[in-house]
Amino acid sequence: MTMEINVSEMRRVRLFEVIGRVDSTNATELGTTLDKAADDGNNNLVLDLSGVDYMSSAGLREMVRILKRVKRSGGDLRIANPSERVKEVLELAGLDSIFEIYPTQVEAVGSF
């Protein structure tokens, strides 16, 4: 299964719904999509990871890189509704303490 990214605008937040597998073959595509939003001045980003059934270290690296980038501009990258597999990976990598994680899109978007 490949990765699909749906982008939408909610209030002053850019929402990314990621579906499928995020691995070494497509992690840079995720990073590029998030970079484009930051390039356009959108520094409040929400990643909905409810549809992600696999997240590799390459995907985590891109997420951390973008988090650092938007924080430098006063923004944040928040995670909404991570699947059980993604939640596990974030916890194992110790990233659940770095990212703000919300149970729903509405709560993640509303947190800005």
- Domains along the sequence of the chain with CATH: 4-110 (3.30.750.24)
- Comparing 10 with 48, which gets the higher pLDDT? 48
Query: What's the pLDDT score for residue 10?
Result: 86
Task: Sheet with 76-80: list strands edge to edge.
Answer: 4-10, 13-22, 44-55, 76-80, 100-102
32/103 Cα distance (integer angstroms) = 25
Average pLDDT, the chain: 96
Cα angle 30-32-38, degrees, rounded to a multiple of 5: 110
Identity of residue 103: P
- Comparing 11 with 32, which gets the higher pLDDT? 32
% of the chain at pLDDT higher than 90:
96
Say yes or no to pLDDT of 7 above 70: yes
Mean pLDDT value of segment 83-97: 96
Mean pLDDT value of segment 61-88: 97
CB 101 within 8 A of CB 47: no
Query: What's the pLDDT score for residue 1?
Result: 61
Mean pLDDT value of segment 78-85: 97
